[in-house]
Amino acid sequence: MYPRLSDFFSDYLGFSLPFPINSFGFMVAIGAMIGAWVLQKELDRMYSIGQVGSVRIPDPEGKKKGRARMVSVSPSYIVGTITIIVIGVGFLGARLFHILENLDQFFRAPARMIFTTGGFTFYGGMILGGFATVFYLKKKKLDLGSVADAMAPGLILAYGIGRIGCHLSGDGDWGIPSEIAAKPDWLPMWFWAETYPNNILGIDLSMTPVYPTPLYEFVAALLIFAVLWSFRHHAHRTGWLFWVYVVFNGAERYFIEGIRVNNKMDLFGQSITQAEFIALLLLLVGVIGVIRTWPKRIVASKPKTAPDTETA
């Protein structure tokens, strides 16, 4: 494993970078950029056929002519801001939920848990980042359901790419000890049992190889992305595709938790992880959302040929 990509460059390419590059952060950044690009393309497509509203921005040409006026443009214009909000607030939420999941460790060494480079819980980032994004979209007076539909494919794709960062760094998001004897002959060993040498936690797994669950989640994310991408032309109400994403997200995480190492908590007499609990809630809410947005809508396509302008 390579917790720092700079070590990979040194070992295989023969040169050293003047600064370290953390694998997890690098892959999260790559995932965010690709997810933002997918969102931008989808918003432009939806805007061109009248399925999503516009945002108002100052007209650059108007400033040159000394006239203050606003123009309506595709909401893809604000994708950069949305990405910054999701990443910034998302990291804070991911760290907060990790602390809540490990309060005993936090009280023993609070500074270490706050400032460590590892220790993030995806659902914390998803929940707080989601609330911050909703607030921003409402401020821009955009329809939440339409934008959420556009975001769904890119969200799951970015998540899967981020999991590659977890795998490269060996941050503990691995599975339980694998059953070597049960491995299918056609499946490569690295996809069934991994020891995560040089992992960022310094844990020796050489005697107990584990399931590389980040790789499983990466594959699952690609499959879900393909399904969502094929469904994006659906004729159902706005928000339907996003709720389909929520269902897939909850189902994928719930099932992967069955072979994943995570802290358990007691809930109504049942031993369950924080992620399993949230995944079940998402699955339930997602199913309700899909049902409520199932009735078909009438699509009134109105191609946008040029931005609307008005003098302020």
8 Å CB contact between 250 and 282: yes
Residue 68's pLDDT is what? 65
Residues 6+ apart with CB under 8 A from 58: 68, 69, 70, 71
Residue 312's pLDDT is what? 40
Predicted TM-score (pTM) of this structure: 0.82
Strand partners, 55: 73
Residues (pLDDT < 70) of the chain are: 60-68, 97-98, 101-107, 109-123, 296-312
Residue 262's pLDDT is what? 78
In whole angstroms, give the CA distance from residue 281 to residue 202.
34
Residue 147's pLDDT is what? 95
In whole angstroms, give the CA distance from residue 213 to residue 122.
14
Alpha carbon of 67 to those of 89, 184, 312: distances in Å? 37, 70, 8
Helix, strand, or coil (residue 53): coil
Phi, psi of 260 (to 5 degrees): -115, 145
Longest dimension (CA), the chain: 76
Residue 102's pLDDT is what? 65
